[in-house]
Chains A and B, each alone.
Chain A
Amino acid sequence: MTELLQQVINGLSMGAIYALIALGYTMVYGVLRFINFAHSDVFMLGAFVAYYTARAFGRWGFVMGGYLGGIAILLLSMTACAVVGIVIERLAYRPLRRRSTLTVLITAIGVSLLLQNGGQLVFGVNPKAFPDIFPSSTLNLGGLVINSNQLVVLGVAIALLSALHWIVQHTRIGTAMRAVSFNATAASLVGIDTNRIISFTFGMGSALAGAGGVLYAMNYPSIEPLMGNSPGLKAFIAAVLGGIGSLPGAALGGMLLGFVETGVSGTRWSTFRDAIAFAILIGILLFRPAGLLGRNRVEKV
Chain B
Amino acid sequence: MLELKNLTVQYGAITALQDVSLRLDRGEIVTLIGGNGAGKTTTLRAISGLLKPRSGSIWYEGNDITGRPPHKLVAQGLAHCPEGRMVFANLTVLENLRMGAYLQRDRRVIEKELEFVRSLFPRLRERESQLAGTLSGGEQQMLAIGRALMSQPRCLLLDEPSLGIAPLLTQTIFEKITELNRVRGLSILLVEQNANLALAVSHRAYVIECGRILLSGPASEVKSNPQVRDAYLGGG
Contact = CB atoms under 8 A, between A and B. Distances in A.
Nearest to B89: A182
Nearest to B150: A190
A192 B91 CA distance: 15
B103 A191 contact: yes
A31 to B, nearest CB: 13
Range class of the B interface residue count: 20 to 34
Interface string B75-90: 1000110101011111
Most B C-beta atoms less than 10 A away, residue of A182, A186, A194: A186
B99 A189 contact: no
Nearest to B147: A190
B102 A189 contact: no
Interface stretch (B66-74, B210-218, B222-230): B66-74
Contacts of B150: 190
A298 to B, nearest CB: 9
Contacts of A181: 90
A190 B91 contact: no
B75 A189 contact: no
A188 interface: yes
B50 A188 contact: yes
Contact of B88 (A178, A193, A300): A178
A175 B86 contact: no
B86 to A, nearest CB: 4
B29 to A, nearest CB: 20
Interface in A153-195: 172, 175-176, 178-179, 181-183, 185-194
Contacts of A1: none
Contacts of B71: 188, 191-194
A116 to B, nearest CB: 35
Interface in B143-172: 147-148, 150-151
Interface of B: 48, 50, 69-71, 74-75, 79-80, 82, 84, 86-91, 95, 98-100, 102-103, 147-148, 150-151
Interface of A: 172, 175-176, 178-179, 181-183, 185-194, 300-301
7 contacts: A176-B102, A181-B90, A182-B91, A186-B88, A191-B75, A192-B71, A193-B71
